[in-house]
């Protein structure tokens, strides 16, 4: 692992811990050249899953896109970052358990909405307004009625 401070190629692991959900390994590292410490995280890569977009194009599954969307939906809400990351982990796990190595983007959106609805109503509506591309106030109101 290359040091992010001095870019030296050799570091040593001084501490390793498994996360509470056993999905991530946290490693505390020390650079052998400059002596500074930094943290790295290790998780299973989802590189072999393809997302089929609405226009039919395919791209590799990107966990960070889900995380960014959830952070935006949960902005200024009383939701811990840890809870947001748990939702991303659950979505990723749901996708991994499928038989196919392809998943439609709208299926991912539905999974996210299902998880968000349990987490926070306002974040759910924010995400739904972008995901479902509400064209009018009436479509927005219909979604609100479903929540009630």
Q: 73 and 108 in one domain? A: yes
Q: 92 and 20 in one domain? A: no
Number of structural domains in the chain: 2
Q: Is residue 142 part of a domain?
A: yes
pLDDT, averaged per 10 consecutive residues of the chain (148 residues), comes to 95 90 87 96 78 94 94 96 92 89 94 94 90 79 79
What is the reported pLDDT for 53?
A: 95
Q: 93 and 30 in one domain? A: no
Q: Is residue 66 part of a domain?
A: yes
Q: 24 and 65 in one domain? A: no
What is the reported pLDDT for 46?
A: 60
Q: Is residue 3 part of a domain?
A: no
Domain limits at 21?
A: 11-43
pTM value is 0.70
Q: 128 and 73 in one domain? A: yes
Q: 26 and 83 in one domain? A: no
Q: Is residue 1 part of a domain?
A: no
Q: 54 and 35 in one domain? A: no
Q: Is residue 37 part of a domain?
A: yes
What is the reported pLDDT for 144?
A: 80
How many angstroms separate the CA atoms of 41 and 19, rounded? 10
What is the reported pLDDT for 145?
A: 83
What is the reported pLDDT for 137?
A: 81
């Amino acid at each position: 692992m290359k040091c992010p401070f001095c870019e030296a190629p050799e570091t040593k692991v001084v501490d390793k811990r498994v996360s509470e959900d056993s999905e991530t390994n946290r490693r505390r590292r020390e650079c052998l050249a400059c002596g500074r410490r930094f943290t790295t995280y290790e998780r299973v890569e989802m590189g072999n899953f393809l997302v089929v977009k609405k226009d039919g194009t395919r791209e590799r599954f990107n966990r960070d896109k889900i995380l960014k969307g959830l952070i935006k939906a949960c902005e200024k809400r009383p939701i811990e970052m840890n809870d947001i990351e748990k939702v991303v982990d659950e979505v990723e796990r749901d996708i991994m358990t499928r038989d196919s190595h392809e998943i439609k983007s709208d299926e991912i959106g539905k999974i996210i909405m299902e998880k968000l609805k349990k987490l926070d109503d306002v974040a759910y509506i924010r995400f739904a307004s972008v995901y479902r591309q509400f064209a009018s106030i009436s479509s927005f109101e219909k979604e609100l009625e479903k929540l009630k």
